[in-house]
Structure 1
């Protein structure tokens, strides 16, 4: 119980610090969302001071209030679940924008992250178990793919498979003309079809890191005394590889996987832009371009909660998987 309370207390302080930074950082950026909205309205006529004050109240960017008053107001809105109104998607509330874009990102980036992790663990286990074999020699090539910029790889795949060979669609998240949005098979099939190429981009760019990390940990684990003991007992190589070597070698990768899962909701900004994918990364890009404080804060808050939540769950599970960490904690 003491271990659990200490972990929860640590993450509660981290959450408060993240929320405070989430409030401050957008306000340190140049520009003002109120000025952007006023300039848009000014194209239809002169904007009165009363209208400007109403826009400031609506967007939560009251320039006449002190920073402390804005901070207190911001915390009060968070407690009520009010994330404000988006400038980039005006007059849509921030919560609605996030709710519309987040499922696309979780479906694409989340699934691609899980696939790359599992594939990397399997390849790394096999390469570390049989050092010097063909698979072990392929790992440097996989690792090199990780250093390739996302946008360059995405553009190459887009050119080959969408423009030249026309196997996959060139942009979008689904067929806007041939399907009806909802839980129906034509729409689900269209979403999967449009998401294959962006997912392949993410998997290719990230599988090398998981493979290399698991391979190195397997090599280190193979020299431990308990592996020699298991071999001396006459256990089968498959059992030693799975339950003794791989089970212990995968522990550091689990922590990295938790962080990766937490950042899934951040999306892959470059990949979503290249493929014009309607995810949360695209919404963040629009928010930055329009100095949309409310939307930036809402997206950063969701990212913060997901990262902290994922790390808390893995910290607790780590204590179950490896009791030695709980004893030290």
Structure 2
């Protein structure tokens, strides 16, 4: 329990520091959100209009400590302010509309690539010298290929030349978002190419990492003793070798899960997919500081939460940590 208490205290301090930096950075950047909103209006803008927009956006001329206190008060109540690029929409609503698209697409694709890559890495290491070794040059090549290039090739081949899948968007624009069969079918067809791009470009890293760790673990004494006892090959491979070799991959997977909320910005931008990554791209283009601030906050908290889940997994998988705890 001491181990978990130490980790909880560490993540609490880290979360406070991240939230504080999230408060300070937008206020240190050049420009202001009210000027971005007012630039859309033609003609001269009165001081009353400027003050009204500043009040709506939550821009204050108070001292930095007073603003910091107000920021924490609004944050604890779930108020992330108003979005500039989607004005007068609230940041929480804008993020809520995009987060599920990203979680479903990036989350499922990342989980599939992790499982496939890890299993192939286990088999490639256990059966080294077999035909599975032929995957290594291909996976090494794919891991070196730029992410956006795979997306553009997939669009060109399967979208333009063959016409098998839609080119952009998350669903047909004439459809209403809901649980109708037509909408679900359209959403699935729009997600195939982005998902395949993520799987193809990321599976190589999981495979190579797991194979290298398995090769190290296989030579350990406890694996040799398990084989000498005459245990079944599957039990030795999965229960002894793979279980211990899996720990570094779990850390990488947790980091990937944390960054799911930010989305794969490149993929969502190339395919114009309506996720958090595409929202962040538009927020940067439009100097939408409140929206960027909200997205960065969610990314930070999700990364910390994912790492905490990894610590829990380590307690379950590694008996040495349980003894320490």
- Which residue of the partner structure matches residue 115 of structure 2? 118
For residue 267 of structure 1, give the secondary structure of its aligned residue in structure 2.
Answer: coil
Q: What displacement does 1:57 show?
A: 2.0
State how 1:40-79 maps to structure 2 within 5 Å: 40-41=40-41, 43=42, 45-62=43-60, 64-79=61-76
RMSD: 1.4
Residue in structure 1 matched with residue 285 of structure 2 by the alignment: 289
Distance 1:71 1:34 in 2: 19
**2:26 maps to which residue?**
26
Matched, 1:276 2:277: no
Distance 1:223 1:98 in 2: 48
Question: Are 2:243 and 2:317, in contact at CA under 8 Å, matched by a contact in 1?
Answer: no
Q: Distance in 2 between matches of 1:275 and 1:296?
A: 21
- Give the equivalent residue in structure 2 for 1:230: 226
Aligned position for 1:145:
142
Greater Cα shift, 131-140 or 279-288? 131-140
| Aligned counterpart in structure 1 of residue 323 of structure 2, from 307, 317, 327 | 327
Q: Deviations over 1:146-203 (max 9, x none)?
A: 22222111111101100111011011101223x4321122211211111010000111
CA contact (8 A) 1:60 1:294 kept: no
Tell me how far apart the structure 2 counterparts of residues 245 and 159 of structure 1 sit (CA, whole Å): 42
Instruction: Give the match's secondary structure for 2:261.
Output: helix
Aligned to 1:108: 105
Deviation at 1:283, TM superposition (A): 0.8
Residues 185, 130 of structure 1: alpha-carbon distance in 2 compared, 3 angstrom cutoff = same
SS at match of 1:277: coil
Structure 2 stretches lacking a partner, 5+ long? none
Equivalent of residue 81 in structure 2, options 57, 79, 84: 84
SS at match of 1:250: helix
Residue from 296, 310, 313 that aligns with 1:314: 310
Secondary structure at 1:202 match in 2: helix
User: Residues 33 and 290 of structure 1 are in contact (CA less than 8 Å); yes or no, is this contact kept in structure 2?
Assistant: no
Secondary structure of the 1:40 match is coil
Contact 1:288 1:296 in 2 (8 A): yes
Contact map agreement 1:120 1:209 (CA 8 A) in 2:
yes
Q: CA deviation at 1:80?
A: 1.3
Mapped partners of 1:327, 1:18: distance in 2: 31
Q: State the 1:70 CA deviation.
A: 2.2
CA separation in 2, counterparts of 1:209 and 1:26? Answer: 34
1:195 to 191, 195, 201: 191
CA offsets per residue over residues 131-157 of structure 1, 9 Å max, x none?
122212322321221222221111111
Q: Structure 1 CA distance, aligned partners of 2:298 and 2:44?
A: 37
Distance 1:28 1:149, change over 3 A: farther
1:97 is matched with 94
Matches within 5 A, 1:130-141: 130-141=127-138
* Unaligned segments of structure 1, at least 5 residues: none
Q: Is the 8 A contact 1:255 1:311 kept in 2?
A: yes
Q: Does 1:172 align with 2:148?
A: no
